[in-house]
Amino acid sequence: MNGLKVVENLPFLAEELVIVGCEDLEKVSNLCQVRRLHVQLCPNLRCVERLHSLQQLFLTEDMQKVSSMWLPGLQEERHQRQCEDLDVYNW
């Protein structure tokens, strides 16, 4: 899917979100009910933040480099909220 740049402020999204092939996607933010996030083939994803219920993150190999820009911040958000560590799976 091309053209989608931001996914944010969608409180009705719950449990699991799968994002695949969004080449223009730059930001995923403020999805407070999402517990599992799968991301694949989103090379321009530069910001993932405020996913307060997120417990598991699934990243494909192609996302390893780009996720290094936002994964530490996402993990720090969890520590500041005194949440359990985020489980990150590479597949």
- pLDDT recorded at residue 84: 83
For 3-43, the pLDDT digits (tens) are 899 999 998 988 999 999 999 999 999 999 999 999 999 99
Instruction: Give the C-alpha separation, 10 to 6, whole Å.
Output: 11
- pLDDT recorded at residue 49: 96
| More confident position, 50 or 14 | 50
For 57-82, the pLDDT digits (tens) are 999 999 999 999 999 999 999 888 88
User: Structure tokens of 68?
Assistant: 């290094």
State phi, psi for 79 to the nearest 5 degrees. -65, -40
